[in-house]
Amino acid sequence: MEHGSYQDQSKATFSLTDEDHTLANSLRFTLNQDPRVTFCGYSIPHPSDARVNIRVQTTGDAAREVLKDSCQDLMLMCQHVRSTFDQAVLDFKNQKNLEAVNIK
């Protein structure tokens, strides 16, 4: 749900349901990395409701597009973390196997 102005698309508050600090803080971090963003923050109106308000203000681009791009960036970062981790686990297992063979 987007709360903003039809005239000024660069400032909006996005209200996401069924979300909490897990996604909101990560999104806030990636939003801050984007140079088009002048202000971004998130709040949780009430801890019993699973709802997060993310406020995005940009230098002119539509806030919705900037948020979408940040989500994409976060997805790419996650994919990279996953592949690096899988590679590290494989390397560790191979190294253990090599050590076991050497000991024998």
Partner 1 sequence: MGVDNSLRLDDFRKNLRVEVVRLTEDDIEFDLIGIDASLANAFRRILIAELPTIAIEKVLIANNTSVIQDEVLAHRLGLIPLQVDPRLFEYISENDIPNEKNTIVFKLHARCEKGGPRSTVKSDELKWLPNGSEFLLATENSASNTASKQKTYTSFSSSQDSLPEFSNNPIAPKYPDIIIAKLGPGQEIELEAHAVKGMGKTHAKWSPVATAWYRMLPEVVLLQEVKGVKAEELVNKCPVKVFDIEDIGKGGKRANVARPRSCTLCRECIRGDGWEKFVALRRVKDHFIFTVESTGALPPEVLFTEAVKILEDKCERVITELS
DSSP for 30-86, please give it: HHHHSTTEEEEEEE-S-TTS-EEEEEEEESSS-HHHHHHHHHHHHHHHHHHHHHHHH
Figure out which of the listed residues 86, 94, 98, 99 binds partner 1, where binding follows CB under 8 A.
86
Figure out which of the listed residues 4, 10, 55, 67 binds partner 1, where binding follows CB under 8 A.
67
Figure out which of the listed residues 11, 13, 29, 51 binds partner 1, where binding follows CB under 8 A.
29
Q: How far is the CB of 7 from partner 1 (least distance, A)?
A: 20
59 lies in the binding site for partner 1 (CB under 8 A): no
Residue 57, both tokens: 């203000």
Which residue, chain included where needed, has tokens 């990636």? 30
| Cβ contacts of 41 within 8 Å, gap of 6 or more | 28, 54, 55
77 lies in the binding site for partner 1 (CB under 8 A): yes
Give the binding site for partner 1 (CB under 8 A).
2, 14, 16, 19-23, 25-29, 33-36, 61, 64, 67-69, 71-82, 84-89, 91-93, 96
